[in-house]
Structure 1
Amino acid sequence: MFSGIVQAVGKIASLQARGGDVRLVVDAQGLGVDGVAPGDSIAVAGVCLTVVGIDATRLAFDVSNETLSRTSLGTLDPGSGVNLEKALRLADRLDGHLVSGHVDGIGRVLAIEPDARSQRWTFEVPVELAKYIAGKGSVCIDGTSLTVNETEGARFGVNLIPHTVAVTTFKDRRVGDAVNIEVDLIARYVERLLRG
């Protein structure tokens, strides 16, 4: 589990084809690899990945075809920035919201507009995900816990304060960019329970 509070921005060092899927290597110097061991979970652009190797400041992850098909990881190039977060420990503060790192789908940036010192961002998600996103609810975008301002069909808006833009990959995002979307996990379970 994660909180959606980004701890560092890493850089894609390489994406290597291996046996039909991919080995992803991330330079995680800002995150630090002290205390990280093979088998640990790290959220990379909001995607929960298992560490399979450590070399100085770099972390290696094996990425399955399922993960590549549901996230933007396979579209990233070496040098691309990715938000990073180590998994929560039971004693950690929960400053964002409960995030599993199990991305539900890919959304798109539709608009970025100034709003006083903040920025107002509009995103579009696949229609089947829209029902899980509610005004004043939580959503995780590229591993960042955000509060939803409003929704309209498959579109929703959020405000990003200057700090959030500065310490995440949002500073590099542009209109049209793909983003990883994880809806609030409570909404998914409520729907399942109601269906019986």
Structure 2
Amino acid sequence: MFTGIIQAIGQVKIKTTHKKGVVFTFLSVDLDFDTVAIGDSIAVSGVCLTVIDLDSDGFKADVSQETLDCSILGDLSVGNNVNLEKSLRINQGIDGHIVSGHVDGRGEVVDKVTEGKSTRFKISVSQSLVKYIARKGSITVNGVSLTVNNINENVFDINVVPHTLMATTLVQLNIGDVVNIEVDMIARHLEQLLNNK
């Protein structure tokens, strides 16, 4: 479980492809690995990955083909930056919203506009995700907890304040870029409950 509050930016150090997926080595001098153990979860640009090896400034994670197919992790190359968040501990407060790290799909940046000191992004998603996205509801974009300003057909917009922009990889986003999307967990569970009445 995560909050969508990014703790550090990391970088892809090594990408090793095999028949059933990819093993990544991620490097981050800013993430505190003292409290991380092999088997722990770390969200990488919104995707929950299990630590399979660890050192003082990075970790390895095995990524299945299923995860590569439904996220942007398969598009990552050595040198690319990623958002990192360690899993939520019981004694921690939740500053963002409840995030599972199970990406629901991809979105595409269709507009980027500076508004004062903030940046407004418009992101298109598949029609299958639209029903889970609500105006003023929560959404996760590349692991970052954000508020939906509005949704029009299959395009929603978010306003990103300067601190969030500079503390995450969102600062690098441009029109045409593809992002990981996780919709609100409560909306997903409510649908499941209603469909099984």
Does the pair score TM above 0.5?
Answer: yes
Instruction: List per-residue Cα deviations over 1:69-115 (Å, max 9, x = no partner).
Output: 01000101111110000000011010000000000001111111011
Q: Who is 1:148 aligned against? A: 148
1:42 aligns with 2:42: yes
Provide the aligned length of Structure 1 versus Structure 2.
196
Distance in 1 of aligned mates of 2:19 and 2:77 = 20
1-structure distance, mates of 2:188, 2:58? 34
What is the one-letter code of the residue matched to 2:30? G
Where has structure 1 moved over 4 Å in runs of 4 or more? Answer: none
Deviations 1:36-64 (A, max 9, x none): 11100000000000000013312100000
- Structure 1 letter corresponding to 2:128: E
Q: Kindly report which structure 2 residues correspond to 1:17-56, keeping only aligned pairs within 5 A, or say none.
A: 17-56=17-56
Q: Give 2:62's aligned residue.
A: 62
Give the Cα–Cα distance (whole angstroms) in 2 for the partners of residues 30 and 116 of structure 1. 29
Report the Cα distance in structure 1 between the residues aligned to 2:20 and 2:35, rounded to whole angstroms.
31
**Residues of 2 paired with 1:14 and 1:134: CA distance?**
38
Q: Where do residues 104-119 of structure 1 align in structure 2 (5 Å cutoff)?
A: 104-119=104-119
Q: Secondary structure at the match of 1:188?
A: helix
The equivalent of 1:137 in structure 2 is: 137
Q: 8 Å contact 2:41–2:50 — kept in the other structure?
A: yes
TM-score by length of 2: 0.97
Partner residue in 1 for 2:184? 184
Greater Cα shift, 55-64 or 89-98: 55-64
Alpha-carbon distance, 1:117 to partner: 1.1
Pairing of 1:61-100 with structure 2 (within 5 A) = 61-100=61-100
Quote the offset at 1:154 in angstroms.
0.9
The alpha-carbon deviation at position 171 of structure 1 amounts to 1.1
The Cα shift of 1:30 comes to 1.1
1:16: which partner in 2? 16
Structure 1: 5+ residue runs without aligned partners? none
User: Gaps spanning 5+ residues in structure 2: where?
Assistant: none
CA distance in 2, matches of 1:15, 1:127: 32
% identity of equivalent residues: 47
Does structure 1 retain, via aligned residues, the 8 Å contact 2:68–2:74? yes
Instruction: Tell me which residue corresponds to 1:128.
Output: 128
CA distance in structure 1 between the partners assigned to 2:194 and 2:153 by the alignment: 22
TM-score computed with the length of structure 1 as normaliser: 0.98
The AA in structure 2 aligned to 1:135 is R
Equivalent residue of 1:77, what SS?
Answer: coil
SS of aligned partner of 1:52: strand
